[in-house]
Amino acid sequence: MSYFNYSKRKSSEVKIGDTLLGGSNPIRIQSMTNTCTLDTLSSVEQCIRIINAGADYVRLTAQGEREARNLGEIRRTLNQHGYNTPLIADIHFNPKAADEAARQVEKVRINPGNFVDSARTFKKIEFTDEEYAQEIEKIRKRFIPFLNICREHGTAIRLGVNHGSLSDRIMSRYGDTPEGMVESCMEFLRICQAENFHDVVISIKASNTCIMVRTVRLLVREMEQENMNYPLHLGVTEAGDGEDGRIKSAVGIGSLLADGIGDTIRVSLSEEPEAEIPVAKKLADYISLRHRHDVINGKLAEEYDYCNVTRRISEKVSYIGGNGHPVVLGLNAGKEKNEEFQPDFYSDSTRFFTDGTNKYPLFRIAEIDSITESDASIRFLFLDCSELTSEIAEKIKLLKNTVLIADTKHINCVGEWRMFFHNAISFGIKNPIILSKEYNETDIESLQLKAGADFGALLLDGFGDGIWLRNKSQNSQTDIIKTAFSILQAVRLRITKTEYISCPSCGRTLFNLQETIARIKEATKGQTGLKIGIMGCIVNGPGEMADADYGYVGAGRGKVSLYKGKTCVEQNIEEALAVQKLIDLIKRNGDWQD
Residue 474 is predicted with a pLDDT of 67
- Average pLDDT rounded to a whole number, residues 251-270: 95
Which residues on adjacent β-strands are paired with residue 383? 406
Distances (CA, A) of 46 to 33, 246, 274: 7, 22, 8
Nearest to 340 by CA among 137, 161, 486: 486
- Give Cα 85 to chain centroid, integer Å: 26
Q: Is the pLDDT of residue 340 over 80?
A: no
Which of 264, 216, 207, 206 is CA-nearest to residue 58?
264
Nearest-angstrom CA–CA distance, 274 and 251: 21
pLDDT of residue 530: 83
Distance, in Å, from the CA atom of 239 to the CA atom of 499, rounded to the nearest integer, reads 10
**pTM metric for this prediction:** 0.89
Least confident of 21-30, 338-347, 387-396: 338-347
Per-residue pLDDT of 441-457, as tens digits, reads 999 999 999 999 999 99
**Could you tell me the pLDDT band of residue 163, with boundaries at 50, 70 and 90?**
confident
Whole-number pLDDT of residue 180: 93
Q: What is the CATH number of domain 499-588?
A: 3.30.413.10
Bridge partners, residue 201, by sequence: 158
Domain 13-288 class in CATH: alpha beta
Give the span between the Cα atoms of 494 and 87, in whole angstroms: 40
How far apart CA 4 and CA 293 sit, in angstroms, is: 11
Looking at residues 40-61, what average pLDDT do you find?
98
Q: Is residue 413 within a helix (H) or strand (E), and if so which, with residue range?
A: helix 413-427
Strands 550-556, 359-364: pairing kind: unpaired
HEC assignment per residue over 496-521? CCCEEEECCCCCCCCCCHHHHHHHHH
The rounded distance, in Å, linking the Cα atoms of 60 and 55 is: 13
- Quote the mean pLDDT of the chain: 90
Q: Quick one: DSSP state of residue 243?
A: H
* Torsional sign, CA 419, 425, 427, 430: positive
> Which pLDDT belongs to residue 499?
79
